[in-house]
Amino acid sequence: MRFSSLSLLAAAGTLASASNFKSGEYDYIVVGGGPSGIITAERFIEAGKRVLLLEQGSGPTVATGANETLVWNHTLTDIDLPGLSADVGALPAWDEYLCTDTEGYAGCVLGGGVTINYMVFVHPPEHDFDDNNNWPQGWKWKDLKPAAERLYKRNPGTILPSADGKRYDQGLYNVLSNFFKKLNWTSVDMITQPNEKYQVYSHPAWNIKDQVRAGPVRTYLPLAEKSKNFHLSLHTKVLRVVRSGSHITGVEVQTASGKTEIVSVAPHGRVVLAGGALATPRVLFNSGIGPKRQIETAKKSGINVPPEHEWINLPVGVGLKDHPIFTIMAQTPGNFGIPDYESIVNGSDTKDISLYGKGSGLLTQGKHRLTFFSSNNINGTTRYYQGSCAPESDAVLDITTYMTHGLTSSGVLGINENQTTVIEKSPYLQTAGDRVAAYQFIQSLVNDFNAPDSGFELETYLNTTAIMSSLSPGMHYTTTAKMGTDDGRENGTSVVDVNTKVYGTDNLYIVDGSIHPDLPTGNIQATIMVIAEAAAARILAQK
């Protein structure tokens, strides 16, 4: 159930009589069952803690309660099948799972964005954490490497998912890799050579394991579920944390029936927010944590925010970042097209389906056919770019071109009186440096495509200006509750300290994309998972 009617909420604002919760018995209440929440909850379980994981959405896999399976395989839903991920926007799951309570894109389903994303899995390079001072001491690559290794052991990603060791539908890869080879770019394996990010191309790395969509719902959750100390409650939305001054005593939740109730943590318990960069700020505003104006709006929406003398003035929402996407399309001399998704869904594509039954073939692969990376330098600032290349139609190539790590723009996330988080200031191309750098990078690609002997011809967006104006959200939002040493209560920019604890609180932590002080060089999900691994260890180390 989504947050529907506030008047209904107000009317139902009493304690439920028959609660499913063991209020007062949880060492940790984790808010949000996306990748960061599941990983953190599972590591707390391994440490012997009693954990309640609260997720507002439903379970997307058969094991977690989904019952709309493929007509030809009753153990799988359509979002599990890698071969359908390219078409995820056309599946019923898209409308069902996409959040309606945030302005940007996020998944409101167990697994969060990882449940409905395009499965691009970029192992972060070391420079993401080390090449500027945005990540604080204690969060440099040398500190994060063990966390990354823990993640990759369980959720490694793959550039070769088909069990027979073959790659399928390589027409696009062949023609485009040849194009880059002629430009003297280097062929790399983006999983084993994550630090190579200048003029390189690779077979795409996907979040796939055992021929199905991977991610913490498959690679961590089952481990937690073995423990009697683990409790997962779906269809349960946290409205706010309940606190007495700096001490968090529990959370107010709204369950599927629309009823609200308060669930307490154990006396020395902690609350960990993992709702994602677009949703965690709502919980903070509703709890009297953030800029005054946002808390006042939250109060107007009917939430029982604490009295004003308890408000903690922190720059929540300020600093929102995302990767902008620019779309480049070109007619190519290649031989490729897009699969007939309808015949995969309805079971008539017997050739690919029977190969899939043997763990192989086209349906084990994700959307893209080639991924490239590069960078440029404007006045001493290096900005990185990623191109995720997929078929658009017969012989037509679509490049999702991201400007990534090094960009200097940021925006602001707030909330409206309907409890929807809103982007008050766009995070895209706010600085002259970003605009100049993006223009220059795109222009260089345009020149290469327009070279007389390239064999490529731009389509739809015919020049750099048109490509720049195709700008769309990268959906890799971060930095709405930034981690750092400059305490936001004292004019600093940070909302959480280097132990991921919210300034001004005794026992409230954040582990999701909100706290990342910077964007990674590639698609973000692997980085989200690495940081969650590291954050869980930091939190457990706090006595």
Ligand X SMILES: Cc1cc2nc3c(=O)[nH]c(=O)nc-3n(C[C@H](O)[C@H](O)[C@H](O)COP(=O)(O)OP(=O)(O)OC[C@H]3O[C@@H](n4cnc5c(N)ncnc54)[C@H](O)[C@@H]3O)c2cc1C
CB of 40 to ligand NAG, least distance (A): 26
183 sits near ligand NAG (criterion: CB under 6 A): yes
490 sits near ligand NAG (criterion: CB under 6 A): yes
- Which of 528, 530, 535, 536 binds ligand X (CB under 6 A)? It is 528
193 sits near ligand NAG (criterion: CB under 6 A): no
What the block records as the tokens of 230 is: 């683990």
- The DSSP line for 472-540 is EE-S--B-SS-BSSSBGGGT-SBSB-TTSBBTT-SSEEE-SGGG-SS--SS-SHHHHHHHHHHHHHHHH
- Please tell me whether residue 28 adopts helix, strand or coil conformation: strand
CA distance 437 to 418: 38
Q: Which of 540, 541, 543, 538 is nearest to 500 (CA)?
A: 538
187 sits near ligand NAG (criterion: CB under 6 A): no
| Burial of 20 per CB tally in 10 Å (0-12, 13-18, 19+) | exposed
Q: Which is nearer to ligand X, 360 or 400 (CB)?
A: 400
117 marked among binding-site residues: yes
- Please tell me whether residue 313 adopts helix, strand or coil conformation: coil
Q: Which stretch binds ligand X (CB under 6 A): 29-37, 185-193, 405-413, 501-509?
A: 29-37
Would the CA dihedral through 488, 489, 492, 497 be positive or negative?
negative
Q: Which is nearer to ligand X, 353 or 475 (CB)?
A: 475
Chosen from ligand NAG, ligand X, none, partner binding at 194 (C-beta under 5 to 8 Å by type) = none
520 sits near ligand X (criterion: CB under 6 A): no
Residues 98-137 that bind ligand X (CB under 6 A): 105-109, 112-114, 116-120
CB of 168 to ligand NAG, least distance (A): 16
411 marked among binding-site residues: no
Q: Which stretch binds ligand NAG (CB under 6 A): 137-145, 274-282, 339-347, 369-377?
A: 339-347
- The DSSP line for 66-134 is ---EETTEEEEEGGG-GGGGGGGGGSHHHHHHB-SSBSS--B-STTTHHHHS--B--PPPTHHHHSSSS
Residues 469-498 that bind ligand X (CB under 6 A): 475-476
CA distance 97 to 113: 9
Q: Which of 212, 238, 278 is nearest to 80 (CA)?
A: 212
Give me the phi and psi of 324, to 5 degrees please. -75, 150
95 sits near ligand NAG (criterion: CB under 6 A): no
Distances in Å between the alpha carbon of 435 and those of 154, 440, 468?
39, 9, 9
CB within 8 Å of 94: residues ≥ 6 apart: 88, 116
CA distance 208 to 81: 9
CB of 271 to ligand NAG, least distance (A): 27
263 marked among binding-site residues: no
Chosen from ligand X, ligand NAG, none, partner binding at 507 (C-beta under 5 to 8 Å by type) = none
Give me the phi and psi of 100, to 5 degrees please. -110, 0
Applying CB under 6 A, the site for ligand X has a residue count of 40
Q: Which stretch binds ligand NAG (CB under 6 A): 113-121, 262-270, 320-328, 459-467?
A: 459-467
432 sits near ligand NAG (criterion: CB under 6 A): yes
Q: Which stretch binds ligand NAG (CB under 6 A): 284-292, 400-408, 412-420, 499-507?
A: 412-420
Distances in Å between the alpha carbon of 250 and those of 42, 52, 228, 450, 537?
20, 11, 21, 60, 22
232 sits near ligand X (criterion: CB under 6 A): no
Distances in Å between the alpha carbon of 286 and those of 252, 255, 258, 316, 419?
10, 17, 18, 12, 9
CB of 347 to ligand NAG, least distance (A): 7
513 marked among binding-site residues: yes
CB of 538 to ligand NAG, least distance (A): 27
| Burial of 165 per CB tally in 10 Å (0-12, 13-18, 19+) | exposed
Q: Which stretch binds ligand X (CB under 6 A): 73-81, 152-160, 270-278, 321-329?
A: 270-278
Residue 9 is classified by DSSP as H
Chosen from ligand NAG, ligand X, none, partner binding at 112 (C-beta under 5 to 8 Å by type) = ligand X
Rg (CA), the chain: 23
Chosen from ligand X, ligand NAG, none, partner binding at 190 (C-beta under 5 to 8 Å by type) = none
290 sits near ligand X (criterion: CB under 6 A): no
118 marked among binding-site residues: yes
423 sits near ligand NAG (criterion: CB under 6 A): no
- Count, in order, helices (H) and strands (E) of the chain: 16, 22
What the block records as the tokens of 118 is: 């395009």
76 sits near ligand NAG (criterion: CB under 6 A): yes
Q: Which residues of the shown chain bind ligand X in the complex (CB under 6 A)?
A: 31-37, 54-57, 105-109, 112-114, 116-120, 237-238, 274-277, 279, 283, 475-476, 512-513, 523-525, 528
Annotated binding site for FAD: 109, 117-120, 238, 513
Q: Which residues of the shown chain bind ligand NAG in the complex (CB under 6 A)?
A: 67, 73, 75-76, 183-184, 212, 340, 342-343, 346, 348, 356-357, 378-379, 416-418, 432-433, 436, 461-463, 465-466, 490-491
